[in-house]
Amino acid sequence: MSKPNQTKAYAWLKEKLNRFKNTLFPKAYVCHVCGAEIGEDGREDSLCPKCRERLPYRHDNTCPICGNYVATPGLCARCRTSRPPYSQAFAPFDYTGSIRRMIINYKDNGSPWLAPYIAKYLIDYAKAMELHADYLVYVPSSDKALKTRGFEHNKKVAMLLCTALELPLTEPLHRVSQKKDQSDLTFEERYQNVNGSFILRDDYDRSQLIGKKILLIDDVMTTGATVTTCAQVLKSNGAQEIIILTLARS
């Protein structure tokens, strides 16, 4: 049987640890999508059972290179015509429902505390798909976006992935500018819009990239123009292979 002062010390330590955990995940008691209170079993991903059931997992009918949905198995029309500079693009979810809400809350509604939850989906997916690379690279934000948002959203997630996947992070890319809002543009228009927006950072030692396989991460892949441009910059600076991982596809 424990001595009374040991029991007291244990209770004190347990309380401190719980407080620490609550500081780390202060909103884990409320579903971050619908705001419903959640019990013990929902705290790991901060989703209520309803929202977890509705997670928009992608189905399998996708182009084996770019990951776009296809009507018949095989490469999509665009990849048949012109191969992208990356070898494969992966994403666990469609950009809709709870995942869309989570990304918007994380990036634009001042909820940087969601980073571990977003990272967890990517970590589990990367492990399940056995994605391997020499380095992890994230798509950086422009200085303007960074100033508005106050944090580098992809870097925050990337750092968690690095630790969990034991994959070193390297930061070769700099986002110069974006000419206009991408929302309503086609792939070609987006490509023209972002082409030239990413360059190798001035102080980056490009020898690190030579012959390397890179896992490039971003939050959402829409037409693929952004990751295509980033992959081109990495390849033209010596990287051998690029694979893409985004949380969602729209």
Q: Which of 27, 55, 56, 65 binds Zn ion (CB under 5 A)?
A: 65
**Listed ranges 47-55, 128-136, 139-147, 151-159: which one lies at the site for Zn ion (CB under 5 A):** 47-55
76 binds Zn ion, rule: CB under 5 A:
yes
Integer Cα distance of 29 and 140 in angstroms = 31
Closer Cβ to Zn ion, 10 or 69, answer by number? 69
66 binds Zn ion, rule: CB under 5 A:
yes
Minimum Å gap between C-beta 199 and Zn ion is 26
99 binds Zn ion, rule: CB under 5 A:
no
Minimum Å gap between C-beta 7 and Zn ion is 38
Minimum Å gap between C-beta 93 and Zn ion is 16
- Structural contact between residues 211 and 240, judged by C-beta atoms closer than 8 angstroms: yes
DSSP string of 104-149, one letter each residue: HHHHHSS-GGGHHHHHHHHHHHHHHTT---SEEEEPPPPHHHHHHH
Closer Cβ to Zn ion, 12 or 187, answer by number? 187
**Residue ranges in 104-143 that form contacts with Zn ion under rule CB under 5 A:** none
Minimum Å gap between C-beta 242 and Zn ion is 15
Integer Cα distance of 89 and 93 in angstroms = 12
Size of interface with Zn ion, in residues (CB under 5 A): 11
DSSP string of 176-241, one letter each residue: ---SS--TT--HHHHHHHHTTSEEE-TT--GGGGTT-EEEEEEEEESSSHHHHHHHHHHHHTT--E
DSSP string of 13-74, one letter each residue: HHHHHHHHHHHHSTTTTB-TTT--B--GGGTTTT--HHHHHT--B--S-B-TTT--B-SSSS
Q: Which of 34, 160, 185, 220 binds Zn ion (CB under 5 A)?
A: 34
33 binds Zn ion, rule: CB under 5 A:
yes
**Listed ranges 4-12, 19-27, 30-38, 212-220: which one lies at the site for Zn ion (CB under 5 A):** 30-38
Closer Cβ to Zn ion, 149 or 235, answer by number? 235
Which residues in this chain contact Zn ion in the complex, by CB under 5 A?
A: 31, 33-34, 36, 48, 51, 63, 65-66, 76, 79
